[in-house]
Structure 1
Amino acid sequence: MTDLIPELRTPSAPEGTGRVKSGMPVSRVDGRAKVTGQAQYAAEIHAPGLRYGVVASSTIARGRITAIDTAGALAVPGVVAVLTHLNRPKVRGFDLAYKDMTAPGGSPFRPLYSDQVFYSGQPVALVVADTFEAARHAAQLVRVSYQEEAHETNLLASLDQAYKPRPLKAGFTPPSSTGDADKAYEAAPVKIASQFYHGVEHHNPMEMHATTVVRGEDGHLTIYDKTQSSQNNRWYVSRAFGLPKDKVTVRNPYVGGAFGSGLRPQYQLTLAVMAALHLECSVRVVLTRQQMFSFGHRPETWQKVQLAANEDGKLQAIVHEAIQETSRLEDYVEVVVNWSGQLYACDNIKLGYKLVAHDRHSPIDMRAPGAAHGMHALEVAMDELAYKLRMDPLELRRINYADRNPLEGKPYSSKELGQCYDKGAQRFGWAGRPIEPRSMRDGDELIGWGMATGMWDSLVMVARVSAQLHADGRLVVSSAASDIGTGTYTVMSMIAAESMGLPMEQVSFQLGDSTLPFAPVEGGSSHVATVGGGVHGACDKLKKRLIRMAKAMPGSPLAKARPQDIAFEDGAMMLRHRPETAVPLGAVLAASGLDRLEEKFMMTPQMLKQRKYTRAVHSAVFCEVRVNEKLGIVRVTRVVNAVAAGRIISAKTAASQIVGGVVWGISHALHEESFTDHRFGRFMNHNYAEYHVATNADVHDIEVIFADEDDRVVSRQLGAKGVGEIGIVSTSAAIANAIFHATGRRIRSTPITPDKILLGDHEIPVPEPKQA
């Protein structure tokens, strides 16, 4: 069995990295492996006798399969099986077996489970062959007959079908309200009311979803999968197929981007395991780029925002309602409207959130789920209110700055948003902005400046970490965390190296293996505070034990030293005031007759303390656009994003995360949307040629500024918060506001495409939803 498993190498820092401290711009320790091709992804793992599976997809959006003709596919040389709902291996039949750690309420979709079709593009067969080419050809020869049923995929045409999610079923806490927002809105002298629309978006990371199942001679399955949690997928596989968990190992050492698409197990995992069990061999299944549009997505969303203020700009009422699509199987919910109850001081707030069930796959989290849409609507509405007040948009936000959560009355664990406003505005040159739209021009281009506030939750979860110090001075730290391109390898190595006083090249961090100590799903910008706190805790325990051992050594110069007087530097322990007393860590282990020393730590959030606070990261985004009205072309020429995210551990990877978020914000604002042909309930532009994303030509000057902040409520060990989401939040709003400043044209739907610049925004309907 061991001989079948490909060797995995844990990346370590290059020679000469040396000593590190928090905040240093350290290059990625896994960078060399990635740029030289040494890093192996899920579709690059090889095993003896490996076979290849290709998915055949449904062509209808709703109905039942009446017949499947696989004769043509089976006749292709090299094809060994065609799996359908009629001949698949046995799987469990109850919903709970398919519930992964991040599943919403309802019944999870089960690939090849029955003859029922829930959405267009659903997998209906898996062709397995000795070569990928044979499997791909044969998959096109599978003939499926259907009994088609009426379907619905148009949100704006079905807003009257909206219902409130069932809290217990969906695991959903309904948004709360305070005061009497409707009454305050009617009484206020200045008010605005706007509707917003956002189309479906798809994740489309560079690496497509893939699973390679390596089957050992003893039947053990070692699964290499594109996922944001090896342990979540191991749990799912063992439960769905009724396999003992010690018979399944899942690995994800390298992930080529995920952005939420890997939070839940995707259907290629289930199908690859089915094929491996059915044929008793190793199997690989890779989705095509077109099939990357056949599972979850950022949901289509309608919103209404009403703001009312006194003539001095003080908010009197906030009303924010949203309707989102979900599948008929699950109540997928997002935190869309809640931000409007947390960000600005106001005594009267009314929030509402509903769903419409469609014949689609369940939506899934996509970078900054809920906030990408909800904060966009709120911040565009705030800009609109500022113009109605004839007030600087930044000044309006300062007037309504909240020192406490307006809905709950809780203080913020830390909130340096004011510092973000100051630093961002100064760096951008906001003071020189004329208030009137269409007041800046350069040749054929109108120039506009816009800004917006960003906010995202600061999450901390439970994690376990192991730290092993070897006699040769190497430190190996382990946890079943994931690195989806965010820099987990690097940041965890930095935390361990700084804590133990070791050079980076002597530290390695192991992740991406379900057999390692428990780690949560990598999502929600939580890994640094969660797993990083665990790394710090494990190293702290290791240091305390080393101190005891060193003090017990015969003739030890540290025998009478207090623990607080001992420092760890350059691979040794020493008295802080007498560095010449250094005792090498290796010598401590040798004196005890040990070849290694291990400590484990369980990171848990400070629940009782954290409940007393609202915990969040904040940002202020300032943006310049240039708009050619004749062609409808918008260029985002300059962005300054000032972020308050606690202590920054790795300045280089943190800034990279913000830049990546800003680029996606540009894409969200100007490019990305999946269009549906509602006659067939099918996404039309399911490829890179027609699903537009921001490219190098769309990205110009982006500057990231970090505020000085230290949050020991969120992270008592590190003072850090996550930065994975905050970069995208409200970037699109700042762009929309800048376009208004340039053109005087308010566009309330995304993406803001050239036709909307030329012709104006399409009319967004105001629904009359049924009472839930």
Structure 2
Amino acid sequence: MTAAPPVTGARHVGEALDRVDGLAKVTGSAMYAYDHGPADLLHAVPVEAAIARGEVVQVDVDSMLKRPGVVAAIWHGNAPRLATSDEELAVLQSRRVSYRGQYIAVVVAETLDDAREAARTLHVQYAPEEHDVGLRADHPKMYRPDSVNAGHPTDTEQGDPDAALASAPVVVDEVYSTPAEHNNPMEPHATVAEWHGDGLTVHEPSQNVTGLRATLASLFGMPPAHVHVVSPYVGGGFGSKAKVHPHVILAALTAKQVGRPVKMALTRRQMFAATAYRTPTIQRMRLGAEPDGRLVALTHDVFEQSSALAEFAEQAAVPSRTMYAAPHRRTTHRLVRLDVPTPSWMRAPGECPGMFALESAMDELAIACGVDPIDLRVRNEPAADPHSGLPFSSRNLVGCLREGARRFGWAGRDPRPGMRRRGRLLVGTGVAAATFPALRAPSSASARAEPDGRYTVRIAAADIGTGARTVLTQIAADALGSTPGLVTVELGDSALPRAAVAGGSMGTASWGTAVVRACEALRERLSAVGGAVPAGGLEATADTTQEVRGRQRYARHAFGAQFAEVTVDADTGETRVPRLLGVFAVGRILNPKTARSQLIGGMTMGLSMALLEESIMDREFGDYLNRDLAQYHIAANADVRDVQAFWLEEDDPHLNPMGSKGIGEIGIVGTAAAIANAVHHATGVRIRDLPIRLDKLVR
């Protein structure tokens, strides 16, 4: 036996530790899903439906099998059956086509070039039907879903908002819209699937390896233990790799059919069809206020789309339930099922589009009342959560607004629009608030003391570029009384203790809680044996289900304030953002370096949302037209001139053992509204429909 290292008094949480996996990533030794190439590998290329609605009548499989290198061509007529009622994942189980781009066949070949050419030339006979891909608020098939994303109630109402609005001295009643937006992480989706007898191994960039394993096991009718999902490195996700998508099922089905390992890598264009996107929204905001800007009524009505295959209702009105005090309030969500792909999670689903509408309306209310936009928000600060009535564990929104105003130079701002110029450039400034819930979900972890004095912590978490592996190393080091250099964190593998999804800004809070509890249990065991580590090592485990699912006594949210300066060319309408600044109240910052990266990244994505991102639907063709990065525009280096992120010191004992709140999503939440508000200040033109294009400013 050897003695465990002595407990140190150092605190490593809070240090700006470099990423522990940084060297592996920059040297290329980090293995991503596509990097794996088992022996006897085949390449599979999916065939996408060329109609938006109808049926596949026939696929010319026979001619494909005569082509050089082609091993198989699979469609509904010859595909193995899956055990599922989930129409979204029932790949090749029906002749029905529910959206353009849906997988209706797959071609398998010895080389990628052969597979691509075969897929391109495969003859498919369709029976097309009339399709409907147009979202509008008055769509006759609009309905009220039972609940919206994350289990929130569809509608809420307090008091009599209609009567309060009718009698309010000041009323803002406007409609705002956001377009469909597509997740575009650096690493495209790719799957390597290999069967070993009755077992399946899948290499897939996943934000939820535990959930993916369970889904695959269910679909193929086998115990979860027979499925192994491997995903140690993920090149970005933004929500698109959190849910199971049809390509993973298709790759596994194909590998089973041909009896050899299969690699399937989606192109960027293919990702625009079947790997999720943010639903477009139409939102009516009504604010009623006293002349001094104090709200008496707030209503927020949201209209959005899902597919004919599955219901996904984004919770865009939910943040309006929490942000501001108003005695009379109502929020509603309505959904229409169209012949389009199923939308899903994209960074800050619900809060991101919903807060664009709310914070734009709050700016309009400030102007109508002649009140400074910051003062207006302060005057409507609630004493407790307006929706639940629970006290906030911590809030500090006012502190974010005040500190942001100081750092940004808000004092002395002339509220009149169109008054500042730099040559031919109109200059404006704007502000918006941000919020995101501070969540946790059950997870498990193990901690092991090794004979050589090191520690190994294992959890099936996902590091999608956020720095999770680094922060969990710091958390474990402190919980063990050790140093980060003596701790190895293993994650991204379904064989490890189960972990919650890397989504909802709850990863670190969920996984960190499990890691702390496992490390505490290990220290107790080491103490019981006098610190001696046996030759085989010593391990302890923890599961946080009971702790996390206890009764909630506080409303737990992160808050922030974003400030933007814009310039608009008076002749062309070209809009630039010279400065973005955010101040956030997000609990304890566990690593300032990775935290700043996340907050700045979120604000950059919010800039992209405000000015550039828009998936354009051709209603006649039934598909998004701009299905590549040449036409779907995202912010580049030249678009981000000066972006800064700061935070308030916040001690919140009601969250988790680390005292942290999620930071992956709050940075995007208020940014688009801050920029739109700044554009109005610069030009006097109110843009209520994103993105802010030239043609909307030059009239």
What are structure 1's unaligned runs of at least 5 residues? Answer: 1-17, 99-106, 551-587, 760-772
Whole-Å Cα distance in 2 between the matches of residues 542 and 74 of structure 1? 58
> Does the 8 A contact of 1:199 with 1:301 survive in 2?
yes
1:271 maps onto 2:250 in alignment: yes
For the pair shown, the structure with the greater C-alpha radius of gyration is 1
Name the counterpart of 2:562: 621
Aligned counterparts, 1:364-383, within 5 A:
364-383=344-363
Whole-Å Cα distance in 1 between the matches of residues 150 and 580 of structure 2? 38
Q: Equivalent of 2:506, from 518, 522, 526?
A: 526
Name the counterpart of 1:155: 135
1:83 maps onto 2:74 in alignment: yes
- The SS at the match of 2:560 is strand
Name the counterpart of 1:291: 270
1:164 maps onto 2:164 in alignment: no
Whole-Å Cα distance in 1 between the matches of residues 148 and 16 of structure 2? 45
Whole-Å Cα distance in 2 between the matches of residues 608 and 589 of structure 1? 35
Name the counterpart of 1:672: 613
1:67 maps onto 2:58 in alignment: yes
> Does the 8 A contact of 1:423 with 1:705 survive in 2?
no
Read off the aligned partner of 2:318 and give its amino acid letter. N
Name the counterpart of 2:3: none
Name the counterpart of 2:302: 322
Whole-Å Cα distance in 1 between the matches of residues 599 and 357 of structure 2? 21
> Does the 8 A contact of 1:328 with 1:359 survive in 2?
yes
Whole-Å Cα distance in 2 between the matches of residues 79 and 475 of structure 1? 49
Whole-Å Cα distance in 2 between the matches of residues 614 and 501 of structure 1? 32
1:634 positional shift? 0.8
Whole-Å Cα distance in 1 between the matches of residues 331 and 64 of structure 2? 53
Whole-Å Cα distance in 2 between the matches of residues 390 and 233 of structure 1? 53
- The SS at the match of 1:312 is coil
Name the counterpart of 2:204: 225
Give the structure-2-normalised TM-score. 0.96
- The SS at the match of 1:736 is helix
1:41 maps onto 2:32 in alignment: yes
Whole-Å Cα distance in 1 between the matches of residues 686 and 151 of structure 2? 36
Whole-Å Cα distance in 2 between the matches of residues 432 and 168 of structure 1? 42
1:74 positional shift? 2.2
1:589 maps onto 2:532 in alignment: yes
Q: Equivalent of 1:403, from 370, 380, 383?
A: 383
Name the counterpart of 1:15: none
Q: Equivalent of 1:313, from 283, 286, 293?
A: 293
> Does the 8 A contact of 1:170 with 1:333 survive in 2?
no
1:723 maps onto 2:663 in alignment: yes
CA 1:170–1:67: 2 relative to 1, 3 Å: farther
1:250 positional shift? 0.6
> Does the 8 A contact of 1:159 with 1:323 survive in 2?
no
Whole-Å Cα distance in 1 between the matches of residues 565 and 428 of structure 2? 6
Whole-Å Cα distance in 2 between the matches of residues 169 and 537 of structure 1? 30
CA 1:490–1:525: 2 relative to 1, 3 Å: same
Name the counterpart of 1:537: 517
> Does the 8 A contact of 2:442 with 2:549 survive in 1?
no
Whole-Å Cα distance in 2 between the matches of residues 516 and 19 of structure 1? 29
> Does the 8 A contact of 2:13 with 2:478 survive in 1?
yes
Q: Equivalent of 1:358, from 338, 344, 358?
A: 338
51-60 vs 170-179, which moves further: 170-179
Q: Equivalent of 2:579, from 626, 630, 638?
A: 638
- The SS at the match of 2:669 is coil
Read off the aligned partner of 1:731 and give its amino acid letter. T
> Does the 8 A contact of 1:324 with 1:356 survive in 2?
yes
Name the counterpart of 1:491: 471
1:298 positional shift? 0.4
Whole-Å Cα distance in 2 between the matches of residues 42 and 284 of structure 1? 9
Name the counterpart of 2:216: 237
Read off the aligned partner of 2:158 and give its amino acid letter. T
1:512 maps onto 2:503 in alignment: no
CA 1:609–1:66: 2 relative to 1, 3 Å: closer
Read off the aligned partner of 2:660 and give its amino acid letter. A
Read off the aligned partner of 2:193 and give its amino acid letter. V
Name the counterpart of 1:196: 176
Q: Deviations over 1:180-238 (max 9, x none)?
A: 1111111111111110111111101111111001333x443211012111121111111
Whole-Å Cα distance in 1 between the matches of residues 617 and 550 of structure 2? 47
- The SS at the match of 1:83 is strand
- The SS at the match of 1:271 is helix
Q: Deviations over 1:722-741 (max 9, x none)?
A: 11110100100000000000
1:392 maps onto 2:377 in alignment: no
- The SS at the match of 1:493 is helix
- The SS at the match of 2:609 is helix
Whole-Å Cα distance in 2 between the matches of residues 291 and 180 of structure 1? 48
Whole-Å Cα distance in 2 between the matches of residues 197 and 184 of structure 1? 25
Whole-Å Cα distance in 1 between the matches of residues 489 and 149 of structure 2? 38
Name the counterpart of 1:698: 639
Q: Equivalent of 2:407, from 427, 434, 444?
A: 427
CA 1:426–1:372: 2 relative to 1, 3 Å: same
Q: Deviations over 1:619-641 (max 9, x none)?
A: 01111111112111111111111
1:251 maps onto 2:230 in alignment: yes
> Does the 8 A contact of 2:440 with 2:548 survive in 1?
no
Name the counterpart of 1:481: 461
> Does the 8 A contact of 2:42 with 2:111 survive in 1?
yes
Name the counterpart of 2:113: 133
207-216 vs 348-357, which moves further: 207-216
1:160 positional shift? 3.9
Whole-Å Cα distance in 2 between the matches of residues 416 and 168 of structure 1? 28
- The SS at the match of 1:727 is helix
CA 1:406–1:158: 2 relative to 1, 3 Å: closer
Whole-Å Cα distance in 2 between the matches of residues 497 and 607 of structure 1? 22
Whole-Å Cα distance in 1 between the matches of residues 664 and 449 of structure 2? 30
Q: Equivalent of 1:280, from 259, 264, 267?
A: 259
Q: Deviations over 1:556-615 (max 9, x none)?
A: xxxxxxxxxxxxxxxxxxxxxxxxxxxxxxxx325xx44411111112365676522211
Q: Equivalent of 2:419, from 422, 436, 439?
A: 439
1:417 positional shift? 1.3
Read off the aligned partner of 2:552 and give its amino acid letter. R
- The SS at the match of 2:518 is helix
Read off the aligned partner of 2:604 and give its amino acid letter. V
Number of aligned residue pairs: give it.
Answer: 690
Name the counterpart of 1:746: 686
- The SS at the match of 2:113 is helix
1:32 positional shift? 1.2
Q: Deviations over 1:466-506 (max 9, x none)?
A: 00011211110001111111111101001011222322221
Whole-Å Cα distance in 1 between the matches of residues 548 and 235 of structure 2? 34
Q: Equivalent of 1:546, from 526, 530, 537?
A: 526
CA 1:684–1:417: 2 relative to 1, 3 Å: same
- The SS at the match of 1:598 is strand
> Does the 8 A contact of 1:325 with 1:357 survive in 2?
yes
Read off the aligned partner of 2:639 and give its amino acid letter. D
> Does the 8 A contact of 1:481 with 1:511 survive in 2?
yes
- The SS at the match of 1:140 is helix
Name the counterpart of 1:142: 122
Whole-Å Cα distance in 2 between the matches of residues 91 and 659 of structure 1? 43
Q: Deviations over 1:297-334 (max 9, x none)?
A: 10011000011111111111101100001112222112
Q: Equivalent of 1:208, from 174, 180, 188?
A: 188
- The SS at the match of 1:741 is helix
Name the counterpart of 1:681: 622
> Does the 8 A contact of 1:33 with 1:39 survive in 2?
yes
> Does the 8 A contact of 1:72 with 1:141 survive in 2?
no
Q: Deviations over 1:495-544 (max 9, x none)?
A: 01122232222111111111110111111000111100111111111222
> Does the 8 A contact of 2:429 with 2:565 survive in 1?
yes
Name the counterpart of 1:732: 672
